[in-house]
Amino acid sequence: MTLRIYNTLARGLEEFSPIEPGHVRMYVCGMTVYDLCHLGHARSMVVFDVAQRWLKAGGLRVTYVRNITDIDDKIIRRALDNGESIRSLTDRMIAALHQDADALGIERPTHEPRATDYVPQMLGLIGQLEQRGLAYQSSNGDVNYAVRKFDGYGKLSGKSLDELRAGERVAVLDGKHDPLDFVLWKSAKPEEPAEAQWSSPYGSGRPGWHIECSAMSCALLGESFDIHGGGADLQFPHHENEIAQSEGASGHALARVWMHNGFVRVDNEKMSKSLGNFFTIREVLQQYDAETVRFFIVRAHYRSPLNYSDAHLDDARAALKRLYTALGAVPRPADVSAIDWTQPFAARFKAAMDEDFGTPEAVAVLFELASEVNRTKDAALAGLLKALGGCIGLLQGDPQAFLHAGAGVDDAAIDAAIAQRAQAKAERNWAEADRIRQELAAQGIVLKDGPGGTTWESAADKAGALS
């Protein structure tokens, strides 16, 4: 079966074949690094990690770019509030992002460009747009994109200019020719630090958010590439504006396929920092081991809403435990270095994944295979279970370690580690404090910080009591 992917631009499933045979070029919008990543960010990272793993499992070479936005209004404001430099804040948050992503088993992208390293490319792209009559400098020094001069604006989101025209009732501010126009280059403001300013033909300033991704994707993947991904909230205006910028400058289609993952929801509302209903990855990892969190994300289809609750994570832990129980029942599973995709379980797994990365159906196959492993204790089937799980970043740990995480631990050693962590926090050595917590989490030890100090419990015992 040929891989089919839901293309947001076409509003339907399409057979996928890369522009360059055997080589997939994929760009995914990454994080704006002014704070710790929350579970919504985790979902996007896991979703596209699974996608690139499956593409590789199909024998394709993948060049995967996930950018970092390290200059932005929120970043400047947070750095000023903290009394630290922008670079200090963004370096710290990028290190935290990597720790969280590594914990969740997310493979590092091929390239992880920082926006501030690509300002010359952004200015070059703005110059191209200006030459084509699609960009203009306003009276306040900003450079804006003239939306109405780009045919096809709204084709990704399905929004027409007529639908967006309601904004015209609002007075045109900041010298824009039209309320729909968006900023490409922001002129420097007196209150902004010097490190947030670059020289340009338009005066001192910094890039707008949308132009960053257009410049970085073009620089690393070319004017046209195979897959552009991100959260559903980026479809409009961010991705719509990327299309307008990139295609307005080059005259070529930016991406062949547009993929968007669904929201993580809490009480039927999107999890987001603006709503204040978010849980950071680190907060969740204080209660649940990282593979359980990954499994919780993977067993839902990437385009569907994902409802967050302790009950759902408890259920995910219990379900994952059943898969590891099957692996643990076979002392020496076969080493499956190359999966035989004609094998019935493997063929059904592949059919599920080839239908728009259908992880729920693929996980169902894993459970059926686990039942067969439990019944037969067959080493070849156990090896296949582990190999198929590996295609989506699961079941690569030691079964006994997972099943007995937290059992028979040295209480004194844990207490000593907690004391070391408390000392690191007192010295504001957050990296060391996080390292200790992550190390304990890997052993199945969940820390809970409270007014009376830090307590701990075994994640395995908690899940076992609920399963």
Q: Which residues are annotated as a binding site for ATP?
A: 273
Tokens of 450: 């409270």
Distances (CA, A) of 16 to 20, 23, 224, 229: 12, 12, 15, 15
Burial of 266-287, coded b for 16+ CB within 10 Å and e otherwise, reads beeebbbbeeebbbbbbebbbb
Residue 20 DSSP class: B
H-assigned helices in 196-309: 209-221, 240-250, 281-285, 290-298
User: Strand, helix or coil at 51?
Assistant: helix
How many CB atoms within 10 Å of residue 411?
8
143 neighbors 137 (Cβ within 8 angstroms): yes
The distance of Cα 444 from the centroid of its chain, to the nearest Å, equals 24
9 neighbors 48 (Cβ within 8 angstroms): no
Taking the C-alpha atoms of residue 177 and residue 173, their distance in angstroms, rounded to an integer, is: 9
Residue 96: CA count within 13 A, CB half-sphere: 25
Tokens of 389: 């799980």
Q: Which residues are annotated as a binding site for Zn(2+)?
A: 29, 213, 238, 242
Taking the C-alpha atoms of residue 410 and residue 458, their distance in angstroms, rounded to an integer, is: 12
Helix 310-328 and helix 459-466, axial crossing angle in degrees, nearest 10 = 100
Q: Which is nearest to 295 in space by CA: 270, 278, 318?
A: 318
User: Strand, helix or coil at 150?
Assistant: coil
* Percent helix, strand and coil across the chain, each to the nearest 5: 50, 15, 35
Tokens of 17: 């074949």
93 neighbors 34 (Cβ within 8 angstroms): yes
